[in-house]
Each structure stands twice: as C-alpha cells, then as structure tokens.
A and B are shown apart, each in its own frame.
Chain A
Amino acid sequence: MTDQTAETPTTSVPIGLVRARLRIASLTRSGAFRRMVVLTGLAAAWQIAAVIAANPLLFPSLTQTLSALWDALLQEDLALSAIASLSILLKGYILAIVIAALLVSFATANAYAREALLTLTAMFNPLPAIALLPLAMLWFGIGEASVIFVLVHSVLWPFALAALSGFEAVPETQRLVGRNYGLSGARYVAYILVPSALPSIISGLKIGWAFAWRTLIAAELVFGVSSSKGGLGWFIFRNRNELFTDKVFAGLVAVIAIGLVVEFGLFRAVEANTVRRWGMQR
C-alpha cells in the first residue's frame, strides 16, 4: 500500500493521474478503508465456504442470509425485535452507569467505600451475569425487571472498576493545578477528575456495552422472556425452533451489525473527537 505513496510522479505523467494516485494513497491510509477490506474478505470467505458446503439448512450462504434479513425486516418483526432489545438494553445500561457513578464517588471519598467497591468488583466481575437470571426471575418474576437486573449486574462492575482506576490515575500535577485554583467538591470532579479520567471512562463504557449486549441476547435466548414483545434473542430462538436457519443467521447478523455500528459509529467517533484529539490516547 505504501509503495504507491513512495512512488514519485514524473513530469510525463498527466496531472489528473497524479491526483487520482494521491487520492488512492490517502484512501488506503484511512482506517475505514482497511476495515472495509477486512469485512469484504470475511464476507467472501463466508460465501465461498457456504457454496462448497451446499447445505443451506445448516449453513446458509451470505446472499441467502441477506435475503432472509431483508424479508425479516420487511415482513416480519425483526426491526421491532431489535428495537425491543435495544430499549431494554439502554434502560439497564444507563441505570448501571448511574449506580456506578455513585459507587465510584463514594469510593474516591472514603477508604472503606473504596475497599468495599474493589471487593464487590472482585467477587462479581468473574461471575457471568446470566448465572443470576434464575435468581432474578425468582425475585422479580418473568419479565423486564429480571432482565434489567442482570443487565445492571453485567455493566456495573466492569464500568465501576474502569472509572475508579481512571480517577486514581489522574496525574498528581493536574490534581494540584485544580486545587491551586481553589476547586473542590463537584467542581473539582467535573473540571479536573472526569476529563483527566476520560480515556478509562470511555473504555469502561465500551466494555460495559459489549457485556450488556451479550448478556441480553443470552437472556432472551435461554429464557425467551424479554417481555411479551420479544427481542433479537427471542427472534433467533423462535426461528431455530422452526428450522429457519437463514433467519437464525439473519438475527445473528443483526446482532453483529448493531454491535459494529455502536463500536465504530459511536465509541470510536467519540474517542477520535476527545481523547485521541487531545493526545491522551493513541
């Protein structure tokens, strides 16, 4: 790829061609371009493997999956399922982040609260959130409350841990600068600690999002209970029961696509405009 940029255009080459080459060179340097190449490669590999296997009931091809996805979007409730999943996901995610913010505030202010948070994190972080679903159903019944309970559990601990380590890693000089200006309490946290800990906070948000997403789909798959509306996991489960394998794949593709959009469209964009721009993260 870099060979093209290293190549010096001679005077005999028309200027239009030089411009085109420069445009290609800048294109190949961009991350989005490399990402498209990788995705296209994966898609081609899938298609070829499925054509060779020639068993659409077990392993539908990319084109079959895409057409099933199209049908499911137009004629079935795939879009509604996705919205149902996302809405319950957001409730759990936001609730968990609010609780984590409170816990981390206590932990930065008090040594015992900090120890309590670290101990709870060490206990609950390795425990798969989905393992708490049977208990949650006993406590909250079959419905949204149970799923939100496990979602909060899946986001709270990794996010709190990331945020706490971010706050604790704020450089001493920046703390002194804040105190030098007479900042204290909420102003000190908002003006100094939060921006300085932002790389860790964003990274915690990303980890929390991934955990929440996989926990939700698992909960819907295993119990099929994400309320009466049914989510993406429920969509996959139902179609598997009826042996619509192409629709199972379509459901999985939808899960992956939403994950990619959030990762690259939201989190990477936020990072590019904040911590990367500020040189706080490479």
Chain B
Amino acid sequence: MSPTVRPDGVSPPPLLQAVHLTLEYQTERGPLRAVDNVSFDVQKSERLVLLGPSGCGKSSILKALAGFIRPSGGRILLDGREIAGPGPDRLVVFQEFDQLLPWKTVKENVAFPLKVARGRSSSEASKLAAEMLAKVGLERVLDDYPHTLSGGMKQRAAIARALAAAPEILLMDEPFAALDALTRATLQKDLLRLAHDMQFTLVFVTHSIEEAVLIGTRLHLLSARPGKTIATIETARFGPDDLGTPEFQSVVGEINGALFTQTASIAA
C-alpha cells in the first residue's frame, strides 16, 4: 500500500522516517534477524501503530527509534536528520510498571526528565509536573511513592512523565498489555483524549488488533520473524465510540485475515 497522501494531495515532509530498516541481534548461533527491510513515515500529529504477532520485531523497531539499538541496515531520520543514540526528543512509555523510579514520588518522577533533559529549574519542573498529572487524573497522588499505586495509575504517571517533557515524538511499547481489560479500555480512551487535546505524534506498538484500530490513525502490519511489512491500513476514522460497529469489526476481521494468511504461509 502507498504511504499517506493527504486529501489535498500534498504530503508534508515526515517527522520521522524509517528507511529500509533491518535489525539483527547477536546470539550464540550467529546473528538473528528480527526485522527485515521495513520502511515507514510518520507525519506530525499522526498516530502510527506497529501491529504484528509476537516476535515480529515490533518492539525492536521501537527500541531502534528510541536509539537503544543500532540498526544493522537502513536509517532512521527525525526531522530529516539521522538519529544518533537515545535522546529526550523521543520519549518512551514502556510496558513494565517499574519504569517509574521507585525512589521518587509521582510528581518527582514527572519532574525528573524536565530537570535533567530539558534544563528546567526545580520549581518550574514541579509546577509543570503537577499540571500534567492533573490532566491524567493523578492530582491526588502527587506526593505518593510509585509502589503505592495501582498498575493503571503507574501507566498514567508514565504517560504524564513522557508528555510533560514535550518530546517531538512519543513512543509506546505495549503500554496497556499488563492491565486488566477495564483499566485498559479507560486508558485507551484517555490516551485518545490527550492526543486530541495535545496533538502529539505517536508510534504505538501492540499485538491487539482492536487496540491498534482504536488508537492508530494508520497501522503498519508486520509478519512473524523476521518482521516484514505486510500492509499499511488507514484507521483514522475510528474512535472509541466505534468499538463493535460492523465497519470496525470488518476492519478487524480483514487485519486478522491478513496476519493469519501470512503466518499460515510461513508455517507451510
């Protein structure tokens, strides 16, 4: 499928570009290819979802975008410049609850990147942190330590921490996968509300088709290892109210079919 073309026919220069990205891990039995020649663009304020079965390398792609692992082939460009290592212009929300630093209160956690990566003063950082935490509904636990919070609250705090530091692009690695279904649904809605209000750019990794269709404005489907591009699908028309509508279900079914065919053909 072709990359995004805006209704007016003009594509603005992409914020983030992955060009012929190939990722390999060194193992005892030699190099293991996790991702094979994957390319995609992310426009400003777009929400790109990387969707694929377990082991398709979608988390590896996110780690490469964050600069944690170096591509063995291809390039990653942010604002047209090749990225060199990790940096606060690309902040990550992880799946693991221990991403909040246990020795800092909720507010200190959110203020931390503002201070060390954005050069804000302590009082500025503290004020911004409190404001952002109020936006995610955590104004009552500002001075609590993370271990006293529920899983959903921890993920909210992690989202607030990333957004408060105003990254150029927000990277989320299955952030809701360890939550119960009810909390997950609430956080998905809240994330969409924040995206609507703040217009941040997002790359979101998930293995849940429903979550992908709900969160993303565009999905990038990946095959099982080594991850290759299967298809790119526009899903910007779906919002939280469309869950379970026939059109939503048909898109989910279509994606399911695409992923299943791919897996079946590999198994054959």
Contact = CB atoms under 8 A, between A and B. Distances in A.
11 contacts: A176-B66, A176-B94, A176-B99, A177-B92, A180-B91, A181-B117, A182-B116, A191-B112, A191-B116, A195-B103, A278-B147
B3 interface: no
Interface of B: 66-68, 86-88, 90-92, 94, 96, 98-99, 101-103, 112-113, 116-117, 145-148
Q: Which of A179, A196, A280 counts the most B-chain CB atoms under 10 A from its CB?
A: A179
A174 B101 contact: yes
How would you classify the secondary structure of chain A's contact residues: helix, strand, loop or mixed?
A: helix
Most A-side CB within 10 Å, residue of B66, B99, B103, B112: B103
Contact of A195 (B101, B113, B116, B117): B101
A91 interface: no
A280 B86 contact: no
Closest 8 CB pairs of A and B: A279-B147, A181-B117, A173-B96, A195-B103, A179-B86, A278-B102, A173-B99, A278-B103
Given A176-B94, A180-B86, A182-B87, A280 B102 contact: yes
A173 B147 CA distance: 16
A187 interface: yes
A187 B103 CA distance: 16
Contacts of B67: 179
Contacts of B113: 181
A279 B145 contact: yes
Contacts, number: 65
B88 A180 contact: yes
Interface string A153-194: 000000000000000000101101101111100010001100
A277 interface: yes
A22 B96 CA distance: 41
A279 B102 contact: yes
A239 interface: no
A280 B103 contact: yes
Given A182-B86, A182-B117, A177 B99 contact: yes
Contacts of A151: none
Contact of B98 (A171, A180, A192, A274): A171
Given A173-B98, A179-B67, A180-B68, 13 more contacts: A174-B98, A176-B68, A176-B92, A176-B94, A180-B92, A181-B117, A182-B88, A182-B116, A182-B117, A183-B116, A183-B117, A278-B147, A279-B147
